Amino acid sequence: MKEIKKRKLGRSGLEVSALGLGCMGMSFSYGPPADKKEMISLIRAAVERGVTFFDTAEVYGPYTNEELVGEALAPFKGEVVIATKFGFELDPNGGPQWLGLNSRPEHIKEVAEASLKRLRIDAIDLFYQHRVDPDVPIEEVAGAVSDLIKAGKVKHFGMSEASPQTLRKAHAVQPVTALQSEYSLWWREPEAEVIPTLEELGIGFVPYSPLGKGFLTGKITENTVFDKNDFRNSVPRLTPENRKANKVFVELLEQMARQKHATPAQIALAWLLAQKPWIVPIPGTRKLERLDENLGALSVELTADEIRSIENEVSKITTQGDRYSGNAAKLVGR
């Protein structure tokens, strides 16, 4: 296993590779699932390259992504950190759609037991509440995870897309190790209240979609046609006309990439890494060359002037389109 830069998630002491690997897209959301054997070999290639932080959830598939991650990482027990999530009510008949939210304590405990089996591990390293459930007081959720930690079944508690107020309430019951929420050059809302709260409480930040669901790589244009099962078809800011308008972000990254002999994706990730030493982005991919490209971001050092220049230019741009629509939009920031 190669050594790469490591980071600690806040004051928890949980140390992981400075970039993790988001595994969702291998089984879910981005068109048909990828070939399982190929994805196992990709996850293992990530471990060989020094990645020690892998992200999954029971709802991805459902279940198939956890099974994939469990099989791929079985030979590396104790050497890697696996994060998974609870909080959705899934169709008992195995349908692909979730039926609603469910963070009742007894459900959390059932999910933990099932995830442990699928992941082939004795304890879940980081167990996130996937979305805040307005029907269950967050103190009860934190208490249930605290029980799992005392029982040795979970090591760390995480939250996803939670508001600063909810984070504070949960953290008072069971210290939160990490918050996973969307954060990138074209979604900077966490900078206003979320990041200062994380800094104050000593909680790490795990940005998902650090490359804007692929858009900031420059590989998606207004003419790109997504698979009919690709969730990006429902993302307002990724409609063809909004992609055309939002291309200014990519052009800005391309300009900086030329100066730094890097790629737009590497600049976008390097910018995120430069924000705080306890930020660990989890870009996802199905391709080995993209994994290598993303890891190359760890060697890109942006100067304070370069960061200022990027941020000045970005502040002049108005992103076209919301990041979520319909139900998905209602589940964030609670």
Distance CA 55, CA 279 (A): 15
Q: Which residues contact 135 (CB under 8 A, 6 or more apart)?
A: 101
Distance CA 101, CA 108 (A): 11
> In degrees rounded to 5, what are phi and psi of residue 166?
-65, -40
Distance CA 136, CA 241 (A): 40
Distance CA 320, CA 329 (A): 16
Distance CA 199, CA 126 (A): 19
Sign of CA dihedral 49, 52, 53, 56: positive
Distance CA 70, CA 67 (A): 5
Catalytically annotated residue among 60, 128, 183, 208:
60
DSSP alpha helices (H): ranges in the chain?
36-48, 64-73, 105-119, 138-150, 164-173, 194-201, 240-260, 264-275, 288-295, 304-315, 326-330
Active site residue 128: no
Q: Which residues contact 297 (CB under 8 A, 6 or more apart)?
A: 19, 262, 265, 266, 267, 268, 269, 270, 273
Query: What is the number of other CB atoms lying within 10 angstroms of the CB of residue 219?
Result: 14
Residue 271 CA: distances (Å) to CA of 56, 147, 239, 277: 24, 38, 26, 12
Cis geometry, peptide bond prior to residue 75 (ω within 30 degrees of 0): no
Report residue 1 as tokens.
């296993």
Q: Which residues are catalytic?
A: 60
